[in-house]
Chain A
């Protein structure tokens, strides 16, 4: 057993070491490509250790530096952070394997740069997850944006550069114009930036200002992709699929909703928000985002664009859980971070596998391809069912808890929104499958076999199933979080 400090160091540094070593390991492509999965395993072991300690009621801490009076770079793992850390590191192992298969199978250029920045992004995500105060959270939130820019613009084409500009301008713009003043506002009003059980804004801030401060956070965290600041996410789909899968379905976007959830639970305090009703507007905005992005998703023929809009919709489930500010809803939101991650990464892995093996990118081209790629489409089916929320798949738990949370908080209309959204999910996620399995083939394509892009989605699909039965660890952590601990 390693000590908690060591575990935290490994969890934070292993991805960074991978990033730094990648250019040197590039002399042998096998070494370079092995670094990611090995780093992933180390990080995940550390994350498990840390999460177990959190369940035991400890708060693993790691102090790094004192920037100035009242400003410390310190890590301290909250139950929410433990959940996010487990998700990001665990899925990185599979994503790193997948990424090797994808980049090689696709003969992408600059694979070394790609692998290095990929690892930096994971490092930033781990640091966000384990951040000990708002300053550290903000610091690594920004580093996550900057480190994913070279990944989004990886193709160096005009389309990629434009997407990169949109990506940077929305994410950096919102964080500088809204999130930074929100953080400084908290600092100025309370004299601290720590995360504390139960939050600490009550009595420290004029109650009429609470909705405004919450708004600064909700829109300042562009990574949560609330409408109308969601446009960067579909644009970022120009990146190679491993980026869309791990970063734009898990690490980056989850860092966004994680930030909002953390701020609500440990800075505002659920009880304080519920009492002031400051988050009501956010409930309706998330409801709008959930429904309208599902509608947009239906209209998208490009598989990745469709998945991107589905992600926007699902992220708002999590923000909704935070906005409902009831303990059941927060549990649901925390669980949805896990469940959606497993389901959505499966779908993206499949989309990428279809592209690498058959060079198909559109839903309408999938007719009859099911038999050509049975494993991939079966994995897609399982991932889709989990996102829709059908038992026995992980996604059913979090949706159920969110619905219970909405009922708990007295928002019956939200139940209808969630139900309607599930119906829309059925429509746009199962359409590709019905085409693949029940229609005649319209396009003859040569399918090249690349096992490294097929095994990871099958694994994550299995994880989605397993999460229905074995989710105790996450459940314990979510309960701790919902109690504000």
Chain B
């Protein structure tokens, strides 16, 4: 039994959530649906941790679905880069599920909860598949599974705010455009190389490079993924989707959805097209880096002027995704490992923040805005303190996870001697304190409005938030695991040994 599980870990990681999904949809009991989701995401976390422990030394697991040999059959590949991403995603996915129980009861009708968790599991399973698959077309399939399930989840916010329907529809349309771009690109590549297996494509690209069709295919694939990763200026679906979705869904999407897409972007840029480094370099320095910087500033500035808290942090996510994309775009081993560090830390930060906002919404029974949160620090001290910790981590206060990200990103930029980029990043990072402080002032430094009812804190809500908040402190003090795993991940992507320099 044990060995069966161990040898089939990659498949189980996708199959378990996907199979549990329809089971959950059959039931209308809220707690049963939730229990199934906890089992599904908990099992994924265990599988991901096992995969991580198997691959952290540099081992590359190749799993052949249905025993069909690649490049004909579909192959899953798990190495230190994907297993790190999987651990981050499944870990935060599990915590988001724990927190979801209470958050969901306030926002979604009892009879829909089974279906809600079905879509929840589909998103998770789809995203895990997205990260592991080594087949370019299969990747499209997982992209669609997770996207359609996400649309359902976002649309379920309509119970409290009808704008969720429009947000979901926008995501559906824009996401479909992205996916279509991606699949067009795959078509071109397939036509030129005759293969869909990523490693196989990579080995055939040098022969085919020089042909315009390859470049077109590359462009379409990257553009499609940029949409999915919500990189400026094709991030426009994200703020509305995150802010009108039910709180639990915002947590899940913010901590795992874009992370998977960013990982795929890294894999496409550095592995699949490693055979045409000149073109990739041009794309990195002329497209990805400027867009990343643009996203950082647009996201930060929009957040400064936003009064709705969920939307504010959705804009902030656009900026944070910009930092990750910048790390990828600089294209050095140190910068890519900084990007991986921030993939992990940002999931931890935003997961906690959206959970806490969910907690405020649940307690207040109203949307969280700068007005409704006045004095909330004294009304909901436990939730608000955990929120404060995650917020400080977002601002990069030392001894929190966010600081580690900033430290390694700054160092990676210094190494490339791009001083303009460095100053832009530092300025934006200082600006991010502005929007954060705007909220903290409202929450803590203003008296509680007269005649506001007494609020009760629910342990089922604040305990998961506190786990994440303490995680932010833990990974700010002991970052060795994340730093070395990220370095290993970058090393894997580049397919070279980097030594101990970074």
- A residues adjacent to B (C-beta < 8 A): 65-69, 71, 73, 138-140, 142-143, 146, 150, 153, 156, 161, 164-165, 168-169, 172-173, 176-178, 180-181, 184-185, 187-188
Contact assessment for A184 and B414 in the assembled complex, using a CB-CB cutoff below 8 Å: yes
Contact assessment for B447 and A188 in the assembled complex, using a CB-CB cutoff below 8 Å: no
* Smallest CB separation, A179 vs chain B (Å): 10
Stretch of B170-178, B261-269, B299-307, B405-413 at the chain-chain interface: B405-413
- Of all A-B residue pairs in the complex, the 4 with the closest CB atoms, nearest first, are A139-B398, A68-B483, A176-B430, A177-B426
Contact assessment for B479 and A138 in the assembled complex, using a CB-CB cutoff below 8 Å: no
Contact assessment for A164 and B445 in the assembled complex, using a CB-CB cutoff below 8 Å: yes
Contact assessment for B422 and A172 in the assembled complex, using a CB-CB cutoff below 8 Å: no
Nearest to B396 among chain A residues (CB) is A176
Contact assessment for B479 and A146 in the assembled complex, using a CB-CB cutoff below 8 Å: no
A-facing residues in B374-409 (Cβ within 8 Å): 392, 395-399, 403-404, 406-407
CA distance A66 to B477 in the complex (A): 7
* Smallest CB separation, B387 vs chain A (Å): 15
- B residues adjacent to A (C-beta < 8 A): 392, 395-399, 403-404, 406-407, 410-411, 414-415, 422-423, 426-427, 429-430, 433-434, 437, 441, 444-447, 476-480, 483-484, 500
Known A65-B478, A156-B445, A169-B434; judge A146-B397 contact (CB<8 A).
yes
16 A-B contact pairs sorted by A residue (CB < 8 Å): A67-B476, A67-B479, A68-B404, A69-B484, A69-B500, A71-B407, A139-B398, A143-B399, A153-B445, A168-B437, A172-B433, A176-B426, A180-B407, A180-B410, A181-B410, A187-B411
CA distance A185 to B407 in the complex (A): 11
What residues of A have a CB within 8 angstroms of the CB of B476 in the complex? 67
Contact assessment for A161 and B429 in the assembled complex, using a CB-CB cutoff below 8 Å: no
Known A67-B479, A138-B398, A143-B399; judge A188-B415 contact (CB<8 A).
yes
What residues of A have a CB within 8 angstroms of the CB of B422 in the complex? 181
Complex partner residue of A188 from B414, B437, B479, CB under 8 angstroms:
B414
What residues of A have a CB within 8 angstroms of the CB of B478 in the complex? 65-67
* Smallest CB separation, A300 vs chain B (Å): 27
Known A65-B478, A181-B422, A184-B407; judge A161-B445 contact (CB<8 A).
yes
* Smallest CB separation, A156 vs chain B (Å): 6
What residues of A have a CB within 8 angstroms of the CB of B395 in the complex? 172
Contact assessment for B407 and A176 in the assembled complex, using a CB-CB cutoff below 8 Å: no
Complex partner residue of A184 from B392, B410, B427, CB under 8 angstroms:
B410
What residues of B have a CB within 8 angstroms of the CB of A164 in the complex? 441, 445
CA distance A218 to B318 in the complex (A): 33
What residues of B have a CB within 8 angstroms of the CB of A180 in the complex? 406-407, 410, 426
Complex partner residue of B446 from A71, A156, A168, CB under 8 angstroms:
A156
What residues of B have a CB within 8 angstroms of the CB of A169 in the complex? 430, 433-434
CA distance A176 to B415 in the complex (A): 18
CA distance A184 to B407 in the complex (A): 7
* Smallest CB separation, A138 vs chain B (Å): 6
Complex partner residue of B480 from A66, A138, A142, A177, CB under 8 angstroms:
A66
* Smallest CB separation, A72 vs chain B (Å): 11
Taking each of B415, B429, B447, which has the highest tally of chain A beta carbons within 10 Å of its own beta carbon?
Answer: B429
CA distance A169 to B433 in the complex (A): 8
CA distance A177 to B437 in the complex (A): 17
Taking each of A73, A161, A173, which has the highest tally of chain B beta carbons within 10 Å of its own beta carbon?
Answer: A173
Contact assessment for B477 and A65 in the assembled complex, using a CB-CB cutoff below 8 Å: yes
CA distance A398 to B113 in the complex (A): 73
* Smallest CB separation, A128 vs chain B (Å): 12
Nearest to B483 among chain A residues (CB) is A68
* Smallest CB separation, A113 vs chain B (Å): 10
Known A68-B479, A143-B398, A177-B427; judge A168-B411 contact (CB<8 A).
no
Complex partner residue of B477 from A73, A140, A168, CB under 8 angstroms:
A73
Contact assessment for B404 and A161 in the assembled complex, using a CB-CB cutoff below 8 Å: no
What residues of A have a CB within 8 angstroms of the CB of B446 in the complex? 156
Nearest to B422 among chain A residues (CB) is A181
What residues of A have a CB within 8 angstroms of the CB of B404 in the complex? 67-68
CA distance A169 to B426 in the complex (A): 13
CA distance A140 to B444 in the complex (A): 22
18 further contact pairs, Cβ within 8 A, besides A67-B480, A153-B445, A177-B426 = A66-B480, A68-B404, A68-B483, A71-B479, A139-B399, A150-B445, A156-B446, A156-B447, A164-B445, A165-B441, A168-B437, A176-B426, A181-B422, A181-B426, A184-B407, A184-B410, A184-B414, A187-B411
What residues of B have a CB within 8 angstroms of the CB of A161 in the complex? 441, 445
Nearest to B426 among chain A residues (CB) is A177
What residues of B have a CB within 8 angstroms of the CB of A65 in the complex? 477-478
Contact assessment for A165 and B437 in the assembled complex, using a CB-CB cutoff below 8 Å: yes
Nearest to A138 among chain B residues (CB) is B398
